[in-house]
Structure 1
Amino acid sequence: MRDIRHMPMLCLAFGLTCPAPLLAAGGGGGGYVSDAPIPWHMTVDDEGRNVIELIPNAVTRLGLEMAEVSEWMPPEPPAEELVVSSVEELQPVAASEDPTEIVKVPVQPQLTVPYGSLIYWADGTTWVYGENEIERHYVRLPVRVDRIEDQTVYLKSGPPVGTVIVSVGAAELFGAETGTGH
């Protein structure tokens, strides 16, 4: 397979017309329109958390997409019948209790977020970026992951249901916060 990165230079060298996609692919720029840094500003909120503020064009340029923390209700497990082999097994049941009663444990809802929102810190902790009460202001929020299935992350704990979080572009905000972006 030919490396098309050098095609624009060959076109110029031989005076040929070069298609625009080849010119865009030409310096190996990764498809970015500009190598200029994303304009952002970082402050610290009252709780001591870093707050990343982006200008409106940066939100578009980064392709940020938002979602909300959701709640998933697991299906209720089927009631299991009490099976005993003898009357003696029922002796521990108090006389006032109905030995045929089936006790159901309530099913608890679970928080969920899109997989694309999840960020792993160097120490192994997991986070999402939430919109910090003001549009285009983002703050890193801790989450505890229970499990990941397909593109859904099921949480043991995290921000409340309805919290607006970044579902696409969280890695770019992580880069801005930690200084690893360009």
Structure 2
Amino acid sequence: MTAKGPTVVMVVGRVNQGKTALVSTLTRNNHLSEKKDCCQKTYRWYPENEGEWWIVDTPGFGSLSYSDEKVMTTIKRKANGIDHVNAFIYVMNCSKRITDYEIVTLNLLESQFEDFLKSTVFVFTHGDIYPGLLTQDFIERFPETFRDKVKEADNRVVVIDNKPKNDDNNTKIKLIQDFIKNIVEGTKVYQLESRWSSLLRFFKF
């Protein structure tokens, strides 16, 4: 909990990576209503002894139906009423190859949020396809350009199965929580109103 309210975590990434399923896992909400258009929701999460956290689920970049500009506009609308973001979770699917588009998406987010990577936890979904693989070994499989991004994020990488009833996932969820706490304790809060104003100027809407 920050002095100005709850800890706010924005979940971002490209389409079909498992963002909404991850939010469901984190918040123990297994009955998410069907998504409409590219509009997402905010969920409350109450980690033990940590007060109230808000998890902001956002639309994915790289949609065939929406331009990245429209996705960014939708995220802006979603951010209305939230005056700060404490940390980001960038979601990727273990089973999918890391492409240049991933780097482009990260560069875009970096251009809009100062020190974005220093405030980000990388979470890989569908980790059951690599049973027993150590996180460091997993990181070594990344292309060099992506490894550099992860290094800037202090190697905050978590591989999770997206299955709520899973003892190993409980440990991974606690690790995500601890990473976020570390970010909150050491990184400034982003004031969304001014950041989204710069986004509008960037895309010239």
Give the TM-score range, shorter chain. under 0.3
TM-score, normalising length from structure 1?
Answer: 0.22
Instruction: Please say which structure displays the higher CA radius of gyration.
Output: 1
Q: TM-score, normalised by structure 2?
A: 0.20
Structure in which a larger fraction of residues adopt strand: 1
